[in-house]
Amino acid sequence: MLTVKEKRDALVEHEELCDHCLGRQFAKLGHGLENYERGAICRKIDEIDEDSFVRENIPEDAELGGSCEYCKDVFDRMDHWVKLVVDSFERYELNSFLIGIRPPNEVIDQEEKLWEEYGLEWVEPIKTELSRLIGKEIEEEMGIEVDFERADINAVVEMDENKDRVELQVNSLLVYGQYNKYSREIPQTEWHCRNCRGDGCDECDWTGKQYQESVQKIIQEPFMRESRAIEAKFHGGGREDVDAKCLGRREFVLELVEPLNRNLDLEELQEEVNSSQNKVEIFDIQNTHKDKAADIKQKHADKTYRAEVKLDEEVSEEDLEKLSKIEGEVVQRTPQRVEHRRADKNRERQVYSISWEKLDNKKIELEVEAEAGTYIKELVHGDDGRSDPSVTELLGTAAEVEKLDVIDIEK
């Protein structure tokens, strides 16, 4: 391995490098210096070593710019690259960004040749230097910040003679909230018409939809309008059936894809959703990030349900006592009603508590607290013995849920 002095001497003698390219071979040495400053130090200090790369050693005439056979003229064209990116950002309201660089192929080839010849010790790739320098300029010019984790936009600058260009990836705007659903007639998200599968037919009035409204549609409308996103995706923390109300504030993340506007007045939008209709109410709207959507989806929250149950035959208060046997483990084979879209298997779920009230001779109200994923309708009617135990089995008479509400969701 070469010492700093040996490497410097060899590079200066055999290669015609500009200060950027020379300094970049020593980029890991010293703190708070730019590579062209390291290059200038290399030329100035004869007896150079690891400790020479300090601010005091920078010659006064060190300057950004200059070009050579290795970097071509990429550093001379900084203003051009910055303008290219700034122009491409123009339509978007942004708070953060990330820059990637694809230098010209010949520059990459030359760089690799140098690494092979003089070693990889202390080097920085040219694209890292370029993205840092360009990023810094954009931060200053636009007042937005580089964010390596969660940038609003990713820009890749393609540096290629005759066809310089910027590729953009506009990241989604994510909004967290909770909702209640007060209607037994709308699904959580849009469904295609069962008859035409979305193409449009007489049955769906040529809308292609099974339901004209959904929780998603009601919530997303003003958000789409204000953000001017191209589409919205709805990530719910589970979902209730179409005919079930949800009063337990279900978590969701609304993903607004490729929005032009990001700084939305969330409070005002929440108010707009809530005052414009009475089927859905939203709460706690706030900005969030992509991980949150995955987070609430795999949360497996326990829930409490209230079910109005119709019985085939009259039962006594004494009979109802048998229902306490439902507490504990229940085994549920995949219900017949979802069989076509879920794997057929047995699932064990915990029922934490059950309480009941007789409404009339053939009607009871149940309150059931159960583990995430418990099928409540099946727990009641038994699904031909596929749910064990069940209300039907324990009471010895057919039982059917008439109304179902989710009244609490563990957060």
Q: Which residues bind Zn ion (CB under 5 A)?
A: 18, 20-21, 68, 70-71, 193, 195-196, 201, 203-204
CB 50 → Zn ion: shortest distance, Å? 23
CA angle, residues 240, 243, 248, in degrees to nearest 5: 40
CB 122 → Zn ion: shortest distance, Å? 17
Say how far apart CA 155 and CA 337 lie, in whole Å.
47
Among residues 204 and 253, whose Cβ is nearest to Zn ion? Answer: 204
Q: Output the residue with the shortest Cβ distance to Zn ion.
A: 193
Q: Which amino acid is at 133?
A: L
CB 226 → Zn ion: shortest distance, Å? 31
Residue 11, C-beta contacts closer than 8 angstroms, at least 6 positions apart: 17, 22, 25, 42, 114, 118
CB 82 → Zn ion: shortest distance, Å? 19
CB 204 → Zn ion: shortest distance, Å? 3
Among residues 190 and 226, whose Cβ is nearest to Zn ion? Answer: 190
Task: Determine contact, residues 282/224, Cβ cutoff 8 Å.
Answer: no
Run of H or E residues at 19: helix 19-24
CB 193 → Zn ion: shortest distance, Å? 3
104-111 contact pairs (CB < 8 A, 24+) = 104/72, 104/74, 104/159, 104/160, 104/161, 105/160, 106/72, 107/70, 107/71, 107/72, 107/74, 107/159, 110/69, 110/70, 111/70
Among residues 37 and 383, whose Cβ is nearest to Zn ion? Answer: 37
Say how far apart CA 21 and CA 386 lie, in whole Å.
72
Question: What are the C-alpha distances in Å from 217 to residues 52, 73, 275, 306?
Answer: 64, 52, 15, 26
CA angle, residues 4, 23, 19, in degrees to nearest 5: 130
Among residues 159 and 282, whose Cβ is nearest to Zn ion? Answer: 159
Among residues 20 and 377, whose Cβ is nearest to Zn ion? Answer: 20
CB 362 → Zn ion: shortest distance, Å? 38
Query: Known catalytic residue: 241?
Result: yes
Task: Determine contact, residues 98/148, Cβ cutoff 8 Å.
Answer: yes
Among residues 25 and 334, whose Cβ is nearest to Zn ion? Answer: 25
Phi, psi for residue 103 in degrees, rounded to 5: -70, 165
Task: Determine contact, residues 190/216, Cβ cutoff 8 Å.
Answer: yes
Nearest by Cα to 279 from 183, 146, 343: 183
The single residue of 164, 241, 302, 319 carrying the catalytic annotation is 241
In 289-340, the DSSP E strands lie at: 303-311, 328-333
CB 123 → Zn ion: shortest distance, Å? 14
Among residues 203 and 384, whose Cβ is nearest to Zn ion? Answer: 203
Among residues 14 and 150, whose Cβ is nearest to Zn ion? Answer: 14
Q: Describe the crossing of helices 105-118 and 126-142 by its angle, rounded to 10 degrees.
A: 130
Say how far apart CA 212 and CA 134 lie, in whole Å.
49
Cα-based torsion angle of the residue sequence 395, 397, 402, 406 in order, rounded to the nearest 10 degrees: 30
Q: Distance between terminal CA atoms of the chain?
A: 58
- Residues labelled as active-site residues: 241
